[in-house]
Structures are given as structure tokens and as C-alpha cells.
Amino acid sequence: MTKILMDTDPGIDDAAALALAINNPEVDLELVTTVAGNVTVDKTTINALKIINFFGKGNEIPVAAGAEQPLIKPFEDAARIHGASGMRGYDFVGDLPKPLPETAVQAMHRVIMASDEPMTLVATGSYTNVALLFSEYPEVKSKLTRIIAMGGTLGRGNMTSAAEFNVFTDPDAAKIMYQSGVPIVMVGLDVTMKALVTPETLAEIETMNRSGKMLHDLITSDGDQSEAGVSIHDANTIFYLLHPEFMTTKKLWIDIQTEGPANGETVADIRGAYHDGKTNAEVCVDIDAEAFNEWFKAEVQNMK
């Protein structure tokens, strides 16, 4: 059992990642925190509560709301992809549990320091909460085994040709996170755009059970579809957590561009030439896309 906390901006693919973490018996999801990203933080918080409530975990998995905007950059959402609510496609019913009265940073600090073993931080939104946490409570760093972060790219971006959304949203926070010294697994577009959920997989999960129907309806409403399928970017963090054997990684030094036209670019020292051989990230550079689809179907099959 791996103890994790997830910092998220649900978001259709964040919802898939949450569903996978909530339902896998090897994962102990102790806290969910939310951040402005795909949509405003009030909506990402409601969406996290909706997913947790859907699986009947409202009394077990707490949610704390976090940053309303990036550290410096003006906030830009991705509602065009995820819908105005942030989770277009499925009508969640039922009264929602309340979020914690604490801020995300306060809750992250409390949970991490109270844990009897080091925790894994899974980050699937911008890294604003993570940067604020490390700035305000640096002592948490020694209690984290690693950060598995969806974000960045060694290749083409999805917000500009250089920058991926999570890093683009708050490059200054990403820079703080990548300079924190906490081991980082970078799950970027290099793998998330390869492991597309295929139309065949979507057709199969639709009729599997209520969870499959919900995930099907959300994922097929994602505004970034292609004939080959659709990426549920954030779900790849949970796939790496549970099945790193299906990913190829390279240890690299990653710098973050924080100004100019390439603002938000994750720049890799690919020859190891400028940092005395030091690296700050394990970067996912390849993935078994078929294994991802088979895993996703099996996980959904086991959901209720």
C-alpha cells in the first residue's frame, strides 16, 4: 500500500486519475487538494468532491481548496477543453461533502507531517500549491519520497509550441518545485500523448458498470479528441505509480523557462553538459500504450 496525496484541478483527466487512485487497493489516498487550472478553484474543488462522493468516499477522503491563481502569471483556464464546469459530459447527483476548513497548504502540511511513513505527492494541476507548501513549510520535503507530476514536455507543448498546460499555467511555481530537491517523476506529454484511450477501450468501459459509464461520458466529452483516441493525461501518473515497468525513463536536469515567448517550457539538459552531471527528475520518455489501455479497462472493471 502506497500512501499518497493528490493535488489536482479536475478536469476530466484529473477525474480519471482520482477514480483510479480511489479504487485501487494498493493506493492509500489520504488527501486531495485543489488548485485553479482547468477551471477556477471553486469549481475544481466541487469537481473533486463530486468524484469522491460518486465512489462513496465522502467520509474517508478529505478535500482542501488551494490557490485561486498562479504565483505571478495571470490565470488562464482550459474550460474550452473541459467545459465550463470543468467536468463536461456527466451529471453528478447527490449532496456533496464539505471541503476542509483548512487551506490546501495547511492540510498538505498537516497530513504529510503526521504520516508515519514518507508519502508520494501526485500533482496533476499547476504546481502553485506545491510551491507555496515548500516555501511556507520546507520541512515537509524530507517526508516526501517523490513527486509524480503530470506536466511538461521534451517535445511540443499544448499551450504554445514550447509549453504544456500545467507548467504554462504557473511557470514560477514549477521552477520552485523542480529546484526543491524532492525527487520528481515528470510524466509529460511525451508519454501522455502516446497513451491515448482508444475508441475501442471507450466502447468497452461504457457498458462495464456505472463507473465505466461515468468515465466514458466524461472522457468522450473532452475537447481534445482525435480519431486515434483521447489522452487522459493525469491518469498516467497513477499508471506510473502502479506499473513503472511500462514506462521508459531518463534521468535529466530540467530547468523551467519563466519569461518570454517560451514561458513555461521544460528545458532538459539532454547531454548532461551544464549541471556537473546532476539531475533533478526522472523523465518518462516512452510508454506501452497498449498496456495502458488494458490496465485502464481492468481498473474500471474493478470499480463499483
The residues that touch ligand RIB, with contacts defined as CB under 6 A, are: 9, 11, 13-14, 37-38, 78, 124-125, 150, 158, 164-166, 233-234
* Residue closer to Ca ion, measured from CB, 143 or 149: 149
Kindly tell me which of 124 and 249 has the beta carbon lying closer to Ca ion. 124
Kindly state the smallest distance separating residue 66's Cβ from ligand RIB, in Å: 14
Is 243 in the active site? no
Residue of closest CB approach to ligand RIB? 165
Using CB under 5 A, list all residues that contact Ca ion: 9, 11, 14, 124-125, 234
Pairing status of strand 2-8 against strand 27-34: parallel
Which residue, 112 or 122, has its beta carbon nearer to ligand RIB?
Answer: 122
* Cell numbers given for 141: 520535503
Closest CA relative to residue 233, chosen from 266, 193, 174: 193
The burial class, CB within 10 Å (0-12 / 13-18 / 19+), for 127 is buried
Q: How far is the CB of 79 from Ca ion (least distance, A)?
A: 13
Total number of residues shown for the chain: 304
3-state secondary structure of 154: coil
Q: Rounded to the nearest whole angstrom, what is the least distance from the CB of residue 55 to Ca ion in the complex? A: 19
**Closest to ligand RIB by CB, 38 or 143:** 38
Angle at 195 between CA 189 and CA 200, to 5 degrees: 145
**What whole-number distance in Å separates Cα of residue 43 and Cα of residue 65?**
10
Minimum CB–partner distance for residue 124 and Ca ion (Å): 4
Nearer to Ca ion, 39 or 154 (CB): 39
Per the residue annotation, which of 82, 216, 233, 275 is the catalytic one?
233
Is residue 274 packed enough to be buried (19+ CB in 10 Å), middle (13-18) or exposed (0-12)? exposed
* From the list ligand RIB, Ca ion, none, partner contacted by residue 175 (C-beta under 5 to 8 A by kind): none
Report d(CA 54, CA 51) in Å as an integer: 5
Supply the minimum distance, in Å, between the C-beta of residue 246 and ligand RIB: 20
Between the alpha carbon of residue 134 and those of residues 191, 257, 261, the distances in Å are 27, 20, 27
Report the SS3 class of residue 217: helix
Beta bridge partners of 27: 2
Residues annotated as catalytic (active site), given as ranges? 233
